[in-house]
Chain A
């Protein structure tokens, strides 16, 4: 176990190094002249030169990257071109709202996806099952901004059940969380369906039936827990999809999180902020995958550690 853990941790560190290298290239190497962008249009040649020296952009590539890494290690993600504040500070202030939305989104997708998946599995081959599977296809084919605007139009504008946007109360959370959750629920319902069908066919289910247990008890106590196990391990992988989704969902609903920060930065071409959000998201994905790999053998001992 310890060896596996160390190896897996080592891999994660290597990937994060690679991520930092790519963001570094995107931030300082690809843009035509980052110094000009930082200094602004009105800057004199002298100011530009000063900033270049301050940022160390006159140094060789490898020195620059080393410095960038050292800054990252201290939690310094650079400064916003336009807001003149630390990117790390901006992200930190937006993080709680985003984490709340993500937690609610994961809850929504699991609740909808797992429920529909179980129903489809129990009514396998019938019209209900086919209808649910087509619905799941629609869910994964709909862009999140369309779902978001549709929910907003129906439940906020027309019916007035929820506020049109913003942040603060539970009512504000419902529609954005649903929007985030619907896409994932499409995938989860399909996975849950096949996992549940497999569990219903398994020997232990037949044994439970043969013992004379009732149908409902067999489904709830024997088939369901076993069917859910492989699905839970997917949540870690899910984080990647969520991280992209928050940019869209937060901008549609005016949710003051990291995604909205990135969206505002897109409009102003404030690359350090976009890159900071990307770096934080990539870190979250790597950690999420790591966690999923570590948890999977704990909940299902059949998965061997390699």
Chain B
């Protein structure tokens, strides 16, 4: 902590986060993506589904970036920039929603297993062992193949395969907390399980949930992109960064921008959530305080 801390304003986690360059970089990317997604109808120069007469060369191949179409056009003569903006909506909605559900299930399972232990706890943890045996991507592929794909199915599928890691981390944290002296003391004083759970355990889990919530969005964004790339995620013509690549993949030798612009966007967004999540882990961890 800086000298003369007493006269300064309190050193909040938020402040410490903003002091990290990489986290700041991540936050800027996230804000750009959110801005683009929210205001897509006003920013986008064209409708994402519009096929332009002048959007293809005379030979019928897509136009490179520059000119009337900022990022060029795709193989159907649609404006890539507009599709990217609307695609950001898909990525963010799925990323946040699927991860929120996964985190909800994970927290519920983790806290129940860690706090109540016994038979129920054991059974819940065996369930996570079982889920860990499946490769997440393959399980998601199975589920997506069985159900008719739609945006909501993709959200559910991703949530169903992604809750396990969160559950494990929160379980470990909860069991560790239950052993701590202040909880033991509270028990001795006669506090019921409800009071201990809601007044002491859950508030202490908040930092973990925030960190995993942020890192998890990165995993979710990547999984959505991969499912869409394989053709079983979000279905065209609804644009998603993954299915833009899926649709144009065969042209990547002659029209590389159709693959690498959405590709770069996916990497940037996933990286941003990873950077912010990693910085949050340091910032919210009391043992790290004052080191930055």
Contact = CB atoms under 8 A, between A and B. Distances in A.
Interface stretch (B82-90, B96-104, B188-196, B266-274): B266-274
Per DSSP, chain B at the interface is helix
Contacts of B176: none
B230 A247 contact: yes
B267 A146 contact: yes
Contacts of B133: 15-16, 18-19, 240, 282, 285-286
Nearest to B252: A149
B134 interface: yes
Contacts of B252: 149, 152-153
Interface in A268-287: 269, 271, 274-275, 277-278, 281-282, 285-286
A248 B142 contact: no
**Pairs of residues from A and B, 7 with the lowest C-beta to C-beta distance, nearest first:** A244-B137, A146-B263, A141-B271, A141-B270, A244-B135, A243-B135, A18-B130
A244 B142 CA distance: 12
B141 A262 contact: yes
B267 A245 contact: no
Given A145-B229, A282-B135, 4 more contacts: A145-B225, A149-B245, A149-B260, A274-B142
A278 B139 contact: yes
A30 B146 contact: yes
A152 B249 CA distance: 12
A278 B231 contact: no
Say which size band chain B's interface belongs to.
35 or more
A68 B260 CA distance: 45
A130 to B, nearest CB: 9
Given A137-B275, A278-B134, A143 B146 contact: no
A138 B135 CA distance: 22
A274 B232 CA distance: 13
Interface string A149-180: 11011000100000000000000000000000
B229 A248 contact: yes
Contacts of B214: none
Interface string B104-136: 000000000000000000000010011011111
Given A26-B143, A143-B222, A251-B230, A137 B263 contact: no
A153 B138 contact: no
Interface string A8-35: 0001001110110010001000110000
B162 interface: no
Interface in B248-288: 249, 252-253, 256, 259-260, 263, 266-267, 270-271, 274-275, 278
B211 to A, nearest CB: 15
Contacts of B231: 266-267
20 contacts: A15-B130, A137-B274, A137-B278, A138-B267, A141-B267, A146-B259, A149-B252, A149-B259, A240-B132, A244-B138, A247-B141, A262-B141, A266-B141, A266-B230, A267-B231, A269-B145, A274-B142, A275-B142, A278-B135, A282-B133
Given A146-B267, A274-B141, A281-B135, A141 B274 contact: yes
Contacts of A18: 126, 130, 133
A241 interface: yes
B44 interface: no
Contact of B267 (A143, A243, A285): A143
Nearest to A16: B133
Given A142-B270, A146-B267, A153-B253, A241 B135 contact: yes
A145 B245 contact: yes
A65 to B, nearest CB: 16
Contacts of B137: 244-245, 247-248
A149 B129 CA distance: 34
Interface in B25-72: none
B135 A285 contact: yes
B218 interface: yes
Contacts of A282: 133-135
Contacts of B139: 278
B135 A240 contact: yes
A63 interface: no
